[in-house]
Structure 1
Amino acid sequence: MYDDILIPTDGSETISETLAHGLPIAEQNDATVHGLYVVDSRITAAATDETGPELERSLEDEGEDAVAAVADDAAASDLETVSEVRKGTPSKTILEYADEHGIDLIVIGTRGKSPREKVVSLGSVSERVVDNAEIPVFVVRDAGAGE
């Protein structure tokens, strides 16, 4: 049913809960797990000329670590993995990646932001992915959200 499953990560603790749901689905379907981290171009664009390149390198390094963690967990379950770090707007980039790679399912975590937090951050990435995806999206709420 699912040959390719995308598990986007932002490097936060929510990935543990997301993987706890996404990897069993991948195992049951012998699917390839795609780990994706998006360096938010809005953040790097807002940086000064002096700090911009350093910030971008830092975020890229964080992204490499984040997708490596996804790949390590998937490999421990004997699943094939693909990892990538891209630059862009997170929700759009996730959907573009899914389209380019023939992804069958997106498993994405959410931190359960309050309405105020959503306004400040212009909504949530997971909400925008759900609203705009043409494929199934499995949203995993962080068990520690709202504490």
Structure 2
Amino acid sequence: MFKRILVAVDGSVTALDALDKAIELQQLTRKQDGEAEIYLLCVYKHHSLFEASLSMVRPDEMQIPDQALTEYARDVVDQAKKHALKQGVTCRGFVKGGRPSKKIVSFAQTKEIDLIVMGSKGTHTDVDGMFLGSVSQRVAAHAKCPVMIV
């Protein structure tokens, strides 16, 4: 049925709920078609150097926002991998920068994903937010494969 399942993660509770559903689905279909691969993707919003220069806070060591966001996104993926591993499932993790809905859809096409699973709402603060607004709706509208919104 499904050979490749993409789970969009952003550190939110709903993203972990989506991962749980993907794992459950993987285990249900395992008997029929073999085990589906689960891909984890965390997308951070890209910031330009100009945006970084507008910050009122000047740390001793200047860190470009994309570097900090990449590190945060890697942590989110690592936490999701640990969550899956507790259930006996290994996943492949990826981090991308850009507009979340576009990156999720293009990643799914590139990796020939059979199903995208994602939470209905992500985190909403500017510091922690990976998905802003109605990302799940945009992904569902533009994806070439089925989308399960948890």
Match of 1:47 in 2: 51
How far, CA to CA, are the matches of 1:123 and 1:50 in structure 2?
A: 24
**Is 26-35 or 126-135 further displaced after alignment?**
26-35
Indicate how the Cα distance of structure 1 residues 69 and 87 shifts in structure 2: closer, same or farther if over 3 A, else same: same
RMSD, matched Cα: 2.5
8 A contact 1:23–1:74 mirrored in 2: yes
Deviations 1:62-103 (A, max 9, x none): 100111122222233333421110111111100111111111
Aligned length: 131
TM-score (norm 1): 0.78
How much identity, in percent, do the aligned residues show?
Answer: 31
More helix by share: 1
Is 2:67 the partner of 1:67?
Answer: no
Larger fraction in strand = 1
User: 1:110-140 CA deviation, whole Å, 9 max, x = no partner?
Assistant: 129xxxxxxxx98411000000111110001
Unaligned runs of 5+ in 2: 30-34, 56-61, 123-130
